C-alpha cells in the first residue's frame, strides 16, 4: 500500500508540473482571479454556447441563464479576459445580431491588479 501511495504522489506531482509548464499556473483561474469582464446578456435569441464561443474567437467561459420552471433560456453570462467591454459589445451586436442596451446587458470588470493582489494572499 505504501508503494501505491508513493506512485499516486509521483503521478499527481507530474500532472501538476505539466500543468504549470503548459499554462504557468497549477490550476485554472476564472475571471475573478485573472482579471477581465463578466457580462450578463438577456436575449430571446436562442444561441448555443458553441455559437457564442465561435463568435468571440478568444477563450471564454459561457453559462446559460434560464427560467427553472419553464426551462426557457433567458440569456447567458460570458466571462472573458481577452476582450474589452466595447469589443464584446461589437461581437454580440455584429456577429450574433443581439441589440445591446442598458436593459439587457450588464457588466462587471475585475482588474488584473486586484486579482493579482488577491492571488498572492
- Evaluate whether 51 touches 95 at the Cβ level (below 8 Å): no
Question: Model confidence over 54-110: pLDDT tens digits?
Answer: 898 888 889 989 889 998 889 999 998 888 889 989 888 888 888 888 889 988 887
CA distances (Å), origin 114, targets 22, 28, 34, 63, 111 = 24, 17, 9, 24, 5
Query: Which of 29, 47, 44 has the alpha carbon at shortest distance from 96?
Result: 47
Other beta carbons within 10 Å of 96: 16
Assigned C-alpha cell, 74: 433567458
Question: Model confidence over 21-67: pLDDT tens digits?
Answer: 887 777 666 666 667 888 999 988 888 888 888 898 888 889 989 88
Domains and CATH numbers, the chain: 31-120 (3.30.70.2040)
Amino acid at each position: 500500500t505504501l508503494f501505491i501511495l508513493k506512485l499516486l504522489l509521483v503521478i499527481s506531482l507530474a500532472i501538476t508540473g505539466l500543468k504549470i509548464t503548459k499554462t504557468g499556473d497549477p490550476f485554472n483561474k476564472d475571471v475573478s482571479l485573472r482579471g477581465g469582464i463578466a457580462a450578463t446578456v438577456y436575449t430571446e435569441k436562442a444561441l448555443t454556447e458553441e455559437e457564442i464561443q465561435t463568435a468571440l474567437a478568444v477563450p471564454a467561459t459561457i453559462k446559460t441563464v434560464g427560467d427553472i420552471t419553464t426551462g426557457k433560456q433567458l440569456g447567458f453570462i460570458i466571462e472573458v479576459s481577452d476582450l474589452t467591454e466595447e469589443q464584446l459589445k461589437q461581437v454580440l451586436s455584429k456577429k450574433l445580431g443581439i441589440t445591446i442596451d442598458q436593459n439587457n446587458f450588464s457588466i462587471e470588470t475585475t482588474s488584473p491588479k486586484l486579482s493579482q493582489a488577491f492571488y498572492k494572499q
